[in-house]
Amino acid sequence: MIPSTGEVTYLVLTDRAAPYLLARVRWPDVAQAITAGSPDWLDDPGLFDLPYDPGAVKVSFVQAASVAAGWGRKLRAEAADGVPSFMRRMPANWSDLSPAERRAFGLESVGRRRVSARRLRRLRSSQAKVGAFASAAQSNGHVGALAGGPGVGVDGPAAHGRNQAADLASGLGNVATERRRHVRVPVDGRAHIRWEHATISAGLVDLSEGGVQCVLPEAPPMLTQGAALDRPFLLEAEVTTSRICLDLASRISWNRTIRAGTHLGVVFGELDDGETEGVHRFLVAACSRRGSR
């Protein structure tokens, strides 16, 4: 468990759940942001308005560090000195960036509105790919029964318990039946979970748009069945730079401690269309690289 730094506020803007801008704000002296297209910190006084924008998602230092790492930037607790400034001539509207703002932050191709029919076709295409990966995993014994107990990826979590299928099958066999609407796909990576003022990093086991299974060497005692988790939920794939930030309610539906560690089943609240597409994109990227190793 890693406590939040508290003093500086970290926020992200997302496009289909994928973070595309990371900012740190502390009135009146810190207003800096980076993006994948512009990984060097840029000062912008308009960032003081970002915490009040409905599209901004507040994240912990650990979650922010994960986002920055995906863009090749190591996040430090202190603000950067002597960085260039964006000469702002208009009030900030972070939900609808101006062309000048997009150029300054390297965001020309991010966050554009798309025709709904096109987005629907892309979503259906990603659903078909995820379904194909899930079917292949299930036929090879990689995914548990869809309507039975907690599904288990035979490769286990990315950390603390690879190849522990036998332990999982015996240890989780008597967990109460969990009804599922979505197939969970094995994923190697990390889940950064927020609970009150702490961030807990766990190994990913499997994921769907309905929930996630993850594993810890030893879970804190407060992470019990029924416990509500704080927003957001940040997931990162091990073999890609893919990350998604799900700003939704979630709760622990079951937990079980076995030799491989403590496994947690987390149920998500309802995803919006963008988050659903983001989960599918994340799974397609993670599964494609996972299967090629």
**Sign (positive or negative) of CA dihedral 281, 287, 292, 293:** positive
44-54 per-residue burial string, b: 16 or more CB within 10 A, e: under 16: bebbbbbeeee
The first and second tokens of residue 127, run together, are: 């659903």
Angstrom distance (rounded) from CA 205 to CA 219: 15
Q: What CATH superfamily classification does 116-292 receive?
A: predicted glycosyltransferase like domains (2.40.10.220)
pTM over 0.75? The answer is: yes
Count Cβ atoms below 10 Å from residue 125 Cβ, excluding itself: 12
List the pLDDT tens digit at each of the 293 positions of the chain: 555 445 899 999 999 999 999 999 999 999 999 999 999 999 999 999 999 999 999 999 999 999 999 999 999 988 888 899 998 877 889 988 888 999 999 998 775 544 445 555 555 565 566 666 555 555 554 443 322 334 433 223 333 333 444 444 443 433 333 445 688 899 999 999 998 889 999 999 999 999 999 999 987 888 899 999 999 999 999 878 899 999 999 999 999 988 878 999 999 999 999 999 999 999 988 876 554 55
The first and second tokens of residue 201, run together, are: 């990093």
> What pLDDT score does 132 carry?
60
Angstrom distance (rounded) from CA 239 to CA 251: 27
> What pLDDT score does 3 carry?
52
CB 185 within 8 A of CB 287: yes
> What pLDDT score does 241 carry?
83
> What pLDDT score does 190 carry?
95
> What pLDDT score does 170 carry?
40
Asked if residue 232 has a cis previous peptide bond (ω within 30° of 0), the answer is yes
Angstrom distance (rounded) from CA 49 to CA 96: 13
> What pLDDT score does 1 carry?
56
DSSP result, 199-247:
EEEEEEEEEETTEEEEEESS--TT--TTPEEEEEEEEEESSS--EEEE-
Please give the single-letter amino acid code of residue 17.
A
Nearest to 129 by CA among 287, 291, 293: 287
Angstrom distance (rounded) from CA 286 to CA 236: 9
Distance of CA 206 to the CA centre of its chain: 13
Give me the residues paired with residue 22 across strands. 12, 34
DSSP run (H or E) holding 76: none
Spell out the domain ranges in the chain.
2-105, 116-292
